[in-house]
C-alpha cells in the first residue's frame, strides 16, 4: 500500500473506494457517486481515504478468499459445461447431415406374403477364398480418423440402393447398386446373380461377387478381407467410401436383440456413408425393400462401428472394398 504524506486527491480516494467495492462489497460506482467524490473537501477526502485504506488492509485476506472461491466456482461451472457438451454432442449429431440414398425397386419373386422372414443369401468363405484373399495385392487404406472438434459424414453422392428380388439375392443386389454407382448403368439382377453363381438354397460367396464386379467395371479394383480386426474393418469401410469413392460390401450375421431391424444368419449390405472418426457407417440394405419393411423403414440406416463388427465377426463371410 502506498504511504501518502499528503492529503489524497479525489482520484486516489475514488480508486481506493472502487478497489474495496470490487473486492469486498461488489458495489458499482455510478457517475453521480464519482462526481460527489470529486467535490469532497480535503478533510473529508482524507478521512474517507483513511477509512477505506484501513478497511482494505484488514480485509485483504477476505478479498483473496472471495477471489479464490469465485475462481473455484467458475472452474466447476466450466468443467460441468464441458462435460455436458461432450456427453450430449454425440446425441445431438447422431443424424446430423444424414443423407438418404435413392431407392430403386426392381420387383420381387412371386411369393406368398410373409413366407420368407429372414435373409440368408450370404455364404461363409471357404479356406480357398481366404488363401486367395491373402495373396491379393495390398491396397492402401486410410488409417487416420478425425475426432475433434466434431466428426463429419462423407457420402457417395447419388448412390442408389436396389432391393433384392429374391430372399437369397442380397449379394447380387449389393453388386447391382455398386455397378450403378461406378458405371452409371447396371445389368439386371438376374444376370448378376447368374454371373456370381448365386443359388436358391445358399446364396452367394463374396469371392464370386468380387470376381464379377471387377470384370464389370474399372473404376475401383475391389479386394476382399476376411477375419479382419475391428480397427482394420473400420479402415477398410472408411477407405472404400472416402479414399476410393466406391461402396464397400460386407457380409454380416445379426439379431434384432443386438439393435438390428431384423435377424439374419448371413446377409450382404453395402456401405455408402462413413463418419470421419469411423464411429458410425451408413448401410444400404437390399432386404428391407424386398420384405415389405420398406413401407415404413428406410432402406439405408446408420449403425455404430462396434455393432457392425460384432455382426461381421460372428460369421466369416468377409468384406470387399
- Work out whether the CA dihedral 250, 253, 257, 260 comes out positive or negative: positive
- Average pLDDT, integer, range 235-249: 98
Total-model pTM: 0.69
The pLDDT of residue 296 is 75
Does the pLDDT of residue 181 top 80, yes or no? yes
Tell me: cis bond preceding 126? Omega within 30 of 0 counts: no
CA distance 27 to 30: 9
Least confident among 40-44, 209-213, 217-221, 272-276: 40-44
Closest to 289 in 3D by CA, of 203, 193, 165: 165
What's the CA angle centered on 202, arms 117 and 312, to 5 degrees?
Answer: 75
Q: Which three cell numbers stand for residue 189?
A: 439382377
End-to-end CA gap in the chain: 74
Is the pLDDT at 96 greater than 90, yes or no? no
- Does residue 246 contact residue 305 with C-beta atoms inside 8 Å? no
Nearest Cα neighbor of 175 from 134, 217, 140, 213 is: 213
Residue range 66-91: average pLDDT?
Answer: 42
Burial class (CB in 10 A: 0-12, 13-18, 19+), 55: middle
Q: How sure is the predictor about 70, in pLDDT bands with cuts at 50, 70 and 90?
A: low
In angstroms, the CA 199 to CA 169 distance is 9
Q: What is the pLDDT of residue 272?
A: 98
151 vs 305: CA distance, rounded Å: 14
pLDDT, tens digit, 9 for 90 and up, residues 111-164: 544 545 567 899 999 999 999 999 998 899 988 776 557 899 999 999 999 999
Please answer whether residues 196 and 209 qualify as being in contact, where contact means their C-beta atoms are separated by less than 8 angstroms.
yes
The reported pLDDT for the residue numbered 1 is 43
Question: Which has the closest alpha carbon to 120: 165, 162, 168, 163?
Answer: 168
Provide the b/e sequence for 85-123 (b: ≥16 CB within 10 Å): eeeeeeeeeeeeebeebebbebebeeeeeeebeebbbbb
Place of cell 473404376: 219
Residue that the C-alpha cell 453388386 belongs to: 175
Res 120: pLDDT: 82
- List the one residue out of 239, 200, 230 whose CA is nearest residue 320: 239
Angstrom distance (rounded) from CA 42 to CA 49: 10
pLDDT tens digits, 185-230: 999 999 999 999 999 999 999 999 999 999 999 999 999 999 999 9
60 pLDDT band, cuts 50/70/90, is: very low
Amino acid at each position: 500500500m502506498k504511504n501518502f504524506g499528503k492529503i489524497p486527491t479525489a482520484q486516489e480516494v475514488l480508486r481506493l473506494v472502487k478497489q474495496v467495492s470490487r473486492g469486498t462489497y461488489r458495489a458499482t460506482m455510478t457517475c453521480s457517486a464519482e462526481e460527489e467524490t470529486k467535490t469532497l473537501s480535503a478533510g473529508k477526502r482524507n478521512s474517507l481515504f483513511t477509512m477505506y485504506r484501513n478497511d482494505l488492509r484488514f480485509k485483504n485476506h477476505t478479498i483473496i478468499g472471495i477471489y479464490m472461491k469465485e475462481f473455484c466456482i467458475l472452474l466447476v461451472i466450466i468443467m460441468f459445461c464441458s462435460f455436458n457438451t461432450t456427453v450430449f454432442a454425440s446425441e445431438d449429431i447422431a443424424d446430423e447431415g444424414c443423407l438418404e440414398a435413392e431407392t430403386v425397386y426392381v420387383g420381387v419373386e412371386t411369393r406368398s406374403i410373409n413366407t420368407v422372414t429372414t435373409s440368408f443369401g450370404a455364404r461363409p468363405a471357404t479356406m480357398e477364398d481366404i488363401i486367395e484373399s491373402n495373396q491379393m495385392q495390398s491396397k492402401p487404406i486410410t488409417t487416420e480418423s478425425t475426432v475433434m472438434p466434431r466428426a463429419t459424414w462423407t457420402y457417395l453422392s447419388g448412390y442408389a440402393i436396389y432391393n433384392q428380388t429374391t430372399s437369397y439375392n442380397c449379394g447380387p443386389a449389393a453388386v447391382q447398386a455398386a455397378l450403378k454407382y461406378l458405371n452409371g448403368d447396371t445389368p439386371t439382377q438376374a444376370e448378376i446373380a447368374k454371373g456370381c453363381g448365386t443359388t436358391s438354397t445358399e446364396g452367394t460367396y463374396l469371392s464370386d461377387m468380387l470376381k464379377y464386379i471387377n470384370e464389370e467395371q474399372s473404376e475401383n479394383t475391389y479386394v476382399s478381407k476376411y477375419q479382419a480386426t475391428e480397427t482394420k474393418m473400420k479402415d477398410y469401410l472408411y477407405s472404400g467410401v472416402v479414399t476410393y469413392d466406391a461402396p464397400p460390401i460386407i457380409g454380416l450375421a445379426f439379431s434384432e436383440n443386438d439393435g438390428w431391424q431384423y435377424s439374419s444368419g448371413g446377409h450382404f449390405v453395402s456401405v455408402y456413408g462413413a463418419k470421419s472418426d469411423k464411429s458410425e457407417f451408413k448401410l444400404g440394405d437390399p432386404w428391407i425393400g424386398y420384405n415389405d419393411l420398406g413401407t415404413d423403414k428406410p432402406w439405408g440406416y446408420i449403425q455404430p462401428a462396434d455393432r457392425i463388427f460384432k455382426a461381421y465377426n460372428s460369421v466369416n463371410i468377409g468384406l470387399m472394398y
